[in-house]
């Protein structure tokens, strides 16, 4: 009897272990879909702003590319969310989550530089999200990431090239995640780095 009890307890433990793992995987899936969708929506909104505010052909071409890619990717994510019955952030809560990620800087001559820097940081974060999700135990998420990871890597390279292109003829401006702009020296000071040698002629 003791042997049977141990066997029964062992089977129960395995079953609960599988259930527990399934719950964790489900939470990971929900997090990835919700987070990736949110980042995609922010990319699209910022790109549309760039099309309105920028006169640079390089910036406009980049923005068009981001809109096209992220609209397609978000459509796939929405389809996956419906199939998996994943609850998504909506309404006021979504607006509050998106607000800190929206691009904000002075308009005019600094727009292109600020937008380029914003995009480089945003795509670094998106690429890290996809790289982590590549290890997902959810086969659908892993397959989705495998399909689009190269695109995310390409987006980061394009953003880095845009930073170089906009910095060639303008003062180097850095924009942090709060939307504050700095010149390069002030940014180093805010990071606590020694700028004595930089400031001295």
The domains of the chain, with CATH numbers, are 2-199 (1.20.1260.10)
Of residues 129, 104, 1, 124, the one with CA closest to residue 53? 104
**Residue-averaged pLDDT of the chain:** 75
* pLDDT for residue 197 is more than 50: no
pLDDT per residue as tens digits for the range 74-114: 999 999 999 999 988 776 666 666 665 566 665 666 889 88
**From CA 126, how far away is CA 104, in angstroms rounded?**
19
The whole-number average pLDDT for the span 19-40 is: 75
Q: Which residue has the higher pLDDT, 25 or 46?
A: 46
| pLDDT number for residue 150 | 97
Q: What is the pLDDT of residue 71?
A: 97
Residue whose structure tokens are 């389809």: 79
């Amino acid at each position: 009897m003791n042997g049977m009890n141990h066997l029964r307890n062992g089977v129960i433990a395995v079953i609960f272990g599988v259930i527990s793992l399934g719950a964790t995987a489900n939470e990971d899936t929900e997090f990835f879909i919700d987070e990736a969708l949110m980042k995609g929506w922010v990319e699209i909104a910022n790109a549309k702003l760039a099309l309105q505010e920028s006169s640079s052909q390089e910036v406009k071409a980049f923005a068009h590319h981001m809109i096209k890619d992220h609209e397609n990717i978000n459509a796939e994510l929405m389809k996956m969310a419906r199939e998996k019955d994943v609850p998504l952030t909506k309404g006021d809560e979504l607006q509050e989550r998106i607000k800190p990620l929206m691009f904000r800087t002075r308009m005019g001559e600094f727009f292109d530089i600020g937008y380029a820097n914003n995009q480089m940081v945003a795509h670094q974060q998106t690429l890290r999200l996809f790289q982590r999700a590549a290890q997902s135990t959810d086969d659908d998420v892993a397959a989705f990431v495998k399909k689009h990871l190269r695109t995310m890597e390409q987006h980061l390279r394009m953003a880095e090239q845009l930073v170089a292109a906009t910095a060639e003829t303008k003062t180097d401006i850095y924009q942090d995640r709060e939307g504050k702009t700095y010149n390069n020296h002030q940014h180093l000071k805010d990071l606590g780095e020694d700028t004595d040698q930089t400031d001295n002629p």
